Amino acid sequence: MSAGIEVTETPAIEVEGLCKRYGDFEAVHGLHFRVAPGEVVGLLGPNAAGKTTTMRMLTGFIPPSDGRVLIAGHDVLTDPLGARAAVGYLPESPPLYPEMTVRAYVSFVASIKDVPRRERADAVERAIARCGLSEVSRRVIGQLSKGYRQRVGLAQAIVHEPEVLVLDEPTVGLDPIQIREIRGLIAELASPEHGRGRQSVILSTHILNEVEAICQRVMMIHHGRMVIDQPLAELTAGGQRLEEVFAHITSRDDAPSPVDAEASP
């Protein structure tokens, strides 16, 4: 059983025996965990540990070799439409159309995410405002800075008010003020006071103090295996820093993986 918030209702994410193989190489091996509604979880690991592969399986972008993933009770293999409707995904390189304006693009994503037409304008406006894009909403995406493009990527991930957010390096390219705003948004989405229902968040980042700032729980993958799944408070009890925990775990076996799992197709 995974550590973290006790699950007494349908888990936002439920993973059982998740594996991904590329030929003879197993990029992800036997992952088991649950994420509760409203829980914010940091997914850590060194490069090529299997983090991005795991996130792509959670969001249905690649199929697992074994095991299963349920998103808000929907199996990503047998009920892919239900699972995708329940998840918002921000990959490290957001899937943007540089020739579109911010508003047109977020509206386009809202339409393909089946946001009802009568609710679409409000949903787009809400996502744009939450991500600090109101002042640039009519600008062409290709003319925006990297930081603003990252915000557009986050807006498309939340426009349909998904129950689960999967965020891969959500604050990359942002300045310190923007980072603080996006962290605040993530905390707001998971809050019980968030009026449209708590959203669960699983985020991957190399910024360890970001995990310390907003996550309740830490999962760490090393060579495709789960090596830590604990509440953040337990990991840092006694004044230990997350950076120290990370360094200790990754130094126990620093042999390189035979294949760069993160770059595998």
Sorted by where each starts, the structural domains of the chain and their CATH numbers stand as 1-86+162-265 (3.40.50.300), 94-161 (no CATH)
Q: What is the pLDDT of residues 141-184, one digit of tens each?
A: 999 988 899 899 999 999 999 999 999 988 877 788 888 888 88
**Confidence at residue 259, expressed as pLDDT on a 0 to 100 scale:** 38
**Confidence at residue 192, expressed as pLDDT on a 0 to 100 scale:** 57
**Confidence at residue 195, expressed as pLDDT on a 0 to 100 scale:** 46
168: tokens are: 């891969």
Distances in whole angstroms, Cα of residue 36 to Cα of each of 39, 52, 78, 104, 138: 5, 21, 22, 33, 37
Positions in the chain short of pLDDT 70:
1-8, 191-198, 252-265
- The label of the residue with tokens 């349908």 reads 10
Residue 62: exposure state from Cβ atoms within 10 A (0-12, 13-18, ≥19): middle
Close Cβ partners of 241 (under 8 Å, ≥ 6 residues apart): 208, 212
Q: Are 29 and 53 in contact (CB under 8 A)?
A: no
**Confidence at residue 174, expressed as pLDDT on a 0 to 100 scale:** 79
**pTM score, whole prediction:** 0.84
Task: Return d(Cα 11, Cα 73) in angstroms, integer.
Answer: 7
DSSP for 97-115, please give it: -TTSBHHHHHHHHHHHTT-
Radius of gyration of the chain (CA): 18
